[in-house]
Structure 1
Amino acid sequence: MAITAQMVKELRAKTGAGMMDCKKALTETNGDMDQAIDFLREKGIASAAKKADRIAAEGTTFIQSEGNTAVILEVNAETDFVAKNEGFQTLVKELAAELLAKKPATVEEALETEMPNGKKMSEHINEAIAKIGEKITLRRFELKTKGDNDAFGEYLHMGGRIGVLTLLEGTTDVEAAKDVAMHAAALNPKFISRAQVSEEEVAREREVLTQQALNEGKPENIVAKMVEGRLGKFFEDICLVDQTFVKNPDQKVRQFVESKGATVKDFIRYEVGEGLEKRQDNFAEEVMSQVKK
């Protein structure tokens, strides 16, 4: 029986296996879809599909640089135990090297790139899932480039629980750039400077602070001055260069960077699982649903 591209696509959708594995399975079973699924399951290749609906909110961040290009990525697994597995760590490094080499624009594009072993990244991840036994996903990544007179700062906290990549312009002081990355890991700023905060967000915060002051019974003639002072504290909380430098409380981050003759061009901070539902929460719901039955 002739094996069509549509048949291969359907089997891939049902099993999560790679294209060549699906084609081989269909060939071996003369195009019988159910038998092909069993064939892949017997080979351990379809195990990735069975884990597709699980929650992967653990994992690690990782940073790799080569010359004037750097990548920061987050790869998720289901448990912290697997995140520390040597096979998982090797996979993360392989994905980082591929992202640096191919420079895809999106995760979807990355998953279609061909790894050195000739398989697509998605297939390579599925093979790791089959071996490791947990759902694994490349959640996100960012590629950054710098000039010859600039510096990347790379910092992984708690073995990759938090990853920060900074880019300082005007200095090649890698240690200074790393110090800024460590600071961002600790204080979690949202913006580089006040210039990045939208007018709408500032107006909303000013309105909230104004109402707070009025509710405190402050005279209207001093409320405006109080609000501006509190806005300064608001910017200190969310803007990297306005924050008090963790390694020297007598300095702002801006002052530290300027002392190196540099400016902060960019930073990316990833924290594993941020914004994702946690596996244990899901497990608790399952237990409660059983108790109520």
Structure 2
Amino acid sequence: MANFTIADIKALREQLGTGMVDTKKALEEADGDVEKAVEILRLKGAKGNAKRADRSTSEGLVTAREQDGAVTLLELACETDFVAKNERFIALADKVVEAAAAASADSAEAALAAPAGDQTVAELISDEAAIIGEKVELRRVRTLTGEHFSVYLHKTSKDLPPQIGVVVAYTGENAEAARSIAQHVSFANPSYLAREDVPEADVEKEREIVTEISRNEGKPEAALPKIVEGRVNAFFKQVVLLDQDYAKDNKVSVAQVAKDAGITITDFARFKVGA
């Protein structure tokens, strides 16, 4: 009879985030030796990493780290919510964001190449994925620089780690207002900071679409320019942070809220797991 109990299986599974069957088999093969079982699971997992390459990673977490006048925001993805809330996966995310921040990585590719101890972040993730038994993917990384930052990590479920992460870079001293705007970004999901950041090709495409819609609605030709510009402005209010109606008071824009608070938003980033 193997020298372990159901409680041992449960404890090891919670520690590693591995499946019940695989954990039980590893303990059986190791005759109850936990360290040996971990090594067995790691070797088995390494062989399985390639097989898992095409699997989807729709779960995971977002996390952030501030270092030397910059904040790094990243999304680390996995296959199931069971792994997403596992302590080993969360600890891996902490190591990855620390390494990415130290390297000032501004892309997943740069972060994967960053050193993490005596290996790269890519190697660290591969090793941990082998133990966890799921595909783990560093999906997105942004590093923002600025004078001050507000970091907002939002949990969409109390049982899971943060699923939405926002960083707002700003000048000025009103941290409370900056945090409120970060919360707005979490909810409203803008794509650009200011109108001038929207690619001109996107604006022209929107103008063409709303012009055609307006004509199809039978709007008078003489009134088209004003109608089209109004609809283009509505487009800006959807995608541009500073133009958006403030989530807590839709009678004012985010730009007005920032101005009244004496702050200037200089940059922002928003990640949502799986989006």
> TM-score range, shorter-chain basis?
0.7 to 0.9
Aligned residues of 1:60 and 1:160 also touching (Cα < 8 A): yes
The two structures, once aligned, show a CA RMSD in angstroms of 2.1
Contiguous gaps of at least 5 residues in structure 2: 1-38, 156-160
Q: Are residues 1:146 and 2:134 paired?
A: no
Q: Does residue 170 of structure 2 align to residue 168 of structure 1? A: yes
Counterpart contact for 1:153–1:167, Cα < 8 Å: yes
Alpha-carbon displacement from aligned partner over 1:93-134 (angstroms, at most 9, x marks no partner): 111111111224543343233323x23222221221122111
TM-score, normalised on structure 2? Answer: 0.77
Which is strand-richer, 1 or 2? 2
> Is the 8 Å Cα contact of residues 108 and 141 (structure 2) preserved in structure 1?
yes
The Cα shift of 1:139 comes to: 1.4
Partner in structure 1 of residue 112 of structure 2: 111
Within a 5 Å distance, the mapping from 1:1-293 to structure 2 comes to: 43-44=43-44, 45-104=46-105, 106-116=107-117, 118-147=118-147, 151-158=148-155, 159-169=161-171, 171-274=172-275
Contact 2:113–2:121 (CA under 8 A) maintained in structure 1: yes
How far apart, in 2, do the equivalents of 1:136 and 1:42 lie? 14
2 CA distance for matches of 1:199 and 1:129?
42
C-alpha change, 1:67 and 1:110, in structure 2 (3 Å) is: closer
Corresponding residue SS for 1:90: helix
SS at match of 2:245: coil
Q: Which segment is superposed worse, 154-163 or 251-260?
A: 154-163
Describe the shift of the 1:40–1:195 C-alpha distance in structure 2 as closer, same or farther (beyond 3 A): same
CA distance in 1, matches of 2:228, 2:174: 38
Counterpart secondary structure, 1:135? coil
Cα displacement string for residues 121-158 of structure 1 (whole angstroms, at most 9, x for unaligned residues): 222212211221111011120111223xxx21211222
2-side partners of 1:220 and 1:110: how far apart? 53
Contact 1:51 1:134 in 2 (8 A): yes
Shift of 1:235: 1.1
Q: Separation in 2 of the partners of 1:97 and 1:174?
A: 24
Secondary structure in 2 aligned to 1:46?
helix
Indicate the SS of the match to 1:204. helix
Contact in 2 for aligned 1:68/1:146 (Cα 8 Å): yes
Contact 1:40–1:46 at 8 Å: present in 2 too?
Answer: no
How high is the TM-score relative to the length of structure 1? 0.73
Q: Share of identical aligned residues, percent? A: 36
Partners in 1 of 2:246 and 2:130 — Cα distance? 45
Counterparts of 1:161 and 1:105, CA distance in 2: 20
Aligned length in residues: 231
Give the corresponding residue for 1:288.
none
CA shift at 1:46, angstroms?
3.0
One-letter code of the match for 1:135?
Answer: K
Question: What's the CA shift for 1:85?
Answer: 1.0
Distance (whole Å) between structure 1 residues aligned to residue 191 and residue 231 of structure 2? 18
Letter in 2 for 1:156: L
Taking the aligned partners of 2:130 and 2:237, their CA distance within structure 1 comes to 47
Q: CA distance change for structure 1 residues 49 and 248 in 2, over 3 Å: closer, same or farther?
A: same
Distance 1:223 1:270, change over 3 A: same
Any gaps of 5 or more consecutive residues in structure 1? 1-38, 275-293
In 2, Cα distance between equivalents of 1:202 and 1:242: 15
Describe the shift of the 1:106–1:211 C-alpha distance in structure 2 as closer, same or farther (beyond 3 A).
closer
Per-residue CA distance 1:136-183 (angstroms, 9 max, x = gap): 011120111223xxx2121122242221111112x1333322211111
